[in-house]
């Protein structure tokens, strides 16, 4: 694929006057994007299909994981992603941005801070906007990720599960499976307060 066949543009979602920027979007306009990965002529040495940390299928066309690095790019190409929803405030690394360009993947970034203090909630409007993007099939296949694919990703997936009419005990069970021993009571209570307001 040719680098010069892409135009990168940075756009901000329309926000009412005086409101904070909720989502940073990087769109890759591909003039000739070929999402096909030919594996028939590859040997096992050519393919290092390593999924990112905490990778899982959430639903048809929806995946979750921790932060992907260059060792995961071959695996991610097999998913034929259209979009990535990144839930951290830190800038996306250059190597990852170049990967997005080369594969024509759109990045939606929501700068959700990682809190260790109890009783801190993830902003409801941010979760609603991220959830809107997850539900829009035009963004599928989509990968949702934060740093480790645990807390912020777990909260967004938990809200999706609520919309899918999962019972709260099943939502929390899935959350804890990915968060492992570091599951935070404050995250669950914060998630629960967001889940009760998401319809």
Per-residue pLDDT of the chain (199 residues; tens, 9 = 90+): 434 333 334 333 444 444 455 666 655 544 334 444 455 545 554 567 999 999 999 999 999 999 999 999 999 999 999 999 999 999 999 999 999 999 999 999 998 887 654 335 678 889 999 999 999 999 999 999 998 888 899 999 999 999 999 999 999 999 989 887 554 544 555 555 555 555 5
DSSP state of 199: -
Task: Please say whether the dihedral angle defined by the alpha carbons of residues 122, 128, 130 and 135, taken in this order, is positive or negative.
Answer: positive
List residues with catalytic annotation. 146
d(CA 154, CA 144): 10
Question: Rounded to two decimals, what is the model's pTM?
Answer: 0.72
Q: Which of 54, 73, 72 is nearest to 63 (CA)?
A: 54
Q: What is the pLDDT of residue 25?
A: 65
Domains in the chain, ordered, with CATH? 54-195 (3.90.190.10)
Q: What is the pLDDT of residue 199?
A: 53
Helical ranges in the chain per DSSP H: 73-79, 94-103, 124-135, 151-163, 168-179, 185-197
């Amino acid at each position: 694929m040719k680098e010069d066949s892409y135009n990168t543009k940075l756009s901000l979602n329309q926000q009412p006057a005086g409101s904070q920027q909720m989502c940073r979007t990087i769109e890759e306009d591909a003039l000739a994007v070929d999402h096909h990965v030919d594996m028939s002529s590859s040997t096992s040495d050519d393919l290092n299909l390593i999924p990112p940390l905490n990778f899982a299928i959430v639903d048809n066309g929806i995946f979750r994981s921790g932060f992907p690095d260059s060792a995961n790019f071959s695996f991610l190409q097999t998913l034929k992603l259209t979009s990535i929803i990144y839930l951290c405030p830190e800038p996306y690394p250059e190597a990852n941005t170049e990967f997005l360009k080369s594969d024509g993947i759109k990045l939606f970034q929501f700068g959700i801070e990682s809190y260790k203090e109890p009783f801190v909630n993830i902003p409801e409007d941010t979760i609603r906007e991220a959830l809107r993007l997850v539900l829009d099939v035009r963004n599928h296949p989509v990968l949702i990720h934060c740093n480790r694919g645990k807390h912020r990703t777990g909260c967004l997936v938990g809200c999706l599960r609520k919309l899918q009419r999962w019972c709260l005990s099943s939502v929390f069970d899935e959350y804890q499976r990915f968060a492992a021993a570091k599951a935070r009571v404050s995250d669950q209570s914060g998630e629960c307060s967001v889940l009760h307001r998401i319809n």
